[in-house]
């Protein structure tokens, strides 16, 4: 890439990701560097969050039919832990509860 060529965004981004990068491209270099540092820190944090369940530190495993993008909460009722999965499919909100 020469000094005159603008870098290309990663192809694997969705529409919202591309819009965010287009907005960032209008910012000053110092703001871009600050955003870059924040995004690296955020990515590291998310990697740690994705490896744990919301409440008890156990790894999250998704049952058949539940997408990995589902939000998960753990609830204890009378000494038994239940995982509650919730996700959106189009305009419909779906959920599933699993006894642990």
pLDDT digits (tens, 9 = 90+) for 30-55: 999 998 888 888 777 777 655 555 55
For residue 25, give its domain range: 15-50
**Tokens representing 35?**
């955003």
d(C-alpha 95, C-alpha 72), whole Å: 10
| Residues 44 and 63 grouped into a single domain | no
**Distance separating alpha carbons of residues 70 and 86, to the nearest angstrom:** 5
Q: What is the DSSP string of the chain?
A: --TTSPPPPPTT--HHHHHHHHHHTTS-HHHHHHHHHHHHHHHHHHHHHHTS-TTT-PPP-PPTT--TTSEEEEEEETTEEEEEEEEEETTEEEEEEEE-
33 with 69, same domain: the answer is no
Are 100 and 63 within one domain? yes
Number of separate domains in the chain:
2
What's residue 27's pLDDT? 93
Tell whether 46 and 64 lie within a shared domain.
no
**Looking at per-residue confidence, does 79 or 4 come out higher?**
79
46 and 62: one domain? no
pLDDT of residue 60: 64
């Amino acid at each position: 890439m020469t000094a005159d060529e603008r870098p290309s965004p990663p192809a694997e981004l969705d529409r919202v990701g591309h819009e965010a990068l287009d907005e960032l491209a209008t910012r000053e270099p110092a703001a871009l560097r600050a955003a870059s540092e924040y995004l690296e820190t955020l990515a590291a944090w998310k990697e740690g969050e994705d490896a744990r369940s919301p409440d008890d530190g156990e790894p999250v495993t998704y049952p058949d039919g539940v997408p990995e993008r589902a939000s998960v909460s753990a609830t204890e009722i009378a000494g038994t832990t239940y995982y509650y999965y919730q996700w959106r499919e189009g305009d419909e909100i779906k959920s599933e509860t699993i006894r642990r």
